[in-house]
Structure 1
Amino acid sequence: MTAKPIPPQHGTERCYRKGCRREICRSAYRNSRKRADYHRRNGHRGNVDTTAVSLHLSKLLDSGLTRLQIASAADVSDRAIRYVLNGQTTMHRSTAIRILDVQPRTEPVRVDATATRRRIQALAYIGWPIIRTAEAAGLSHRHVFGILNGSVATLAPEHAQRYERVYAELSERPGPTDHSRSIARRNGWAPPIAWDDDTIVDPAAHPEWTGQCGTDRGYHLHKIEHIPMCTPCDEAHQQWLAERPDLKGVELRSAIASARGQAAGRGVALAENARELLAQELSWDAIATRLRAHPGQIAAAMRRYPDTSPAALGIAA
């Protein structure tokens, strides 16, 4: 996607070259010509070292300007910018001056990529190919894979907003490919149901796989539901074991079995109660509030313990 050019600023040689004839732009142009004449008369070399230009470009990029926007503001080619970024050591003096005249943005224009990364991963978990969601968001494949592997830690707000819209559109329905699901499960990515609007944007938050994550019950729900183990639940189970150093052999296995049974019993009750509330046409948020459970835990319980009543099975009473 082509970056939107930055309009020329009054009081610059570029503004004059674009056709502006305000006095401050005329003056900037005259001063530019005087500098060029001065350097020519004094035998100054046309090319200069690019060290200062390279450092300045880094500041401009860090402020949120794109390479194309910098080239447009400096009235130079994108190729000139790219060459310096790729290690070119000299460039024409006038080109260097124009680049050095470009000022960084002062307002914050980058946002943390954590939420976007989680949205990409969650959509892959339910079968939406990464390349397809990237195209839907209008982002390049390279940029999206940079977000996934962590080499892109921040991104423009409008890019994050595009993926947020794609996520809102696709996260409620399964995607078309099992290959994406396999990739997501192999990498331990979390599905949409493991996140809510608050946790998905919080870099310190963990996915809520079971509705009880961070507890020993959550640990057993992971095992029962065959859900990839999350770090908080694994740590909680290790803490549970550490608090019972006297339990050994049969006693330890019996205590673990009892805890596992309690977790499974909670799942059966959740599934039954959720179906009753759904029959009353309550929303998922209302059901989660009533049952004091995360929607992800409720949905997992309903999948694990399906309705086996005669009516549900289509058996006449």
Structure 2
Amino acid sequence: MTRRTGEPPHHNTLTCYTNYGCRLPDCVERYRAWRDGREAAIKAGEWQPHVDAEPVRQHLLMLAERKITLHRAAAMAGVGLSSLHPLFQPQNGRRRPVRHTVRAEVAAKVLAVTPDAATPGRMDPTGTARRIKALVADGWPMRHIGYQLGFGATYVHQIVQRAADGHLVVTSTALTVADGYERLKDQQPSEHGVSQRVINLARNHATSRRWPPTRYWADRMDVIDDPHFEPMYGLKRREIVAQDANWVMRTTGLDRATTAARLGISKAYIDHAFREHPEYAIEVAA
């Protein structure tokens, strides 16, 4: 996703409530149901947010024997690579504690990956495009990203553009970008011969398009490949209100005054938000 369009935020998971302060009644009820279920499970001694990591580790080792790398397994499972890295010792000679538990939903997704499903092909481009955009936001020009990844001068730009148009990305390309992202995210473009002027141009390009930098994704690697997760990086309160009001009015047919009451704000605030962001403005039949 290159930038937000007229579509409202995603309201089918807990993310909008927990990450963005969404308080639509349906979203509040969804969160309360999850919270109540969690508390009941805790009281009954049945709450297991984490499970033993050993079956996951052994499954990943089995996949590796069949030439399915950790990056590829993570991409196929739809989980962040940062969820799997702590299950193994790094290969750079450094030592660190190995994690012995893993989130239950991550375990389920990884264990569902089979060698038979790992045939070469194409995959959703969301995570690939987001990684490229994050590096641009850090000051890496696309041409230099391409050079670092071994691509042609314009290929990285083509990946981002084709992703915006809904085209899938070749799996091997996605894995190359994921590897490059892990390598470049902690490095400075200036250390690789990129001038400060070009770094600033890249950052400004990303800022104008609200592309989150790598620091934004550092705590969200479990959703960087998720096309249903929509980052609200750089959005101001009034634009979020305009989007929420647009979504409520389109899906319920309510007028602005009733929508305002449902969102817990004034009608004047919605009017102001729509004036500032007319792309979301909407009227409904009386």
| Shorter-chain TM band | 0.3 to 0.5
Larger radius of gyration: 1
Taking structure 2 as the reference length, what is the TM-score of the superposition? 0.38
Taking structure 1 as the reference length, what is the TM-score of the superposition? 0.35
Report 1 or 2 for greater relative contact order, CA contacts < 8 Å, sequence distance ≥ 6: 2
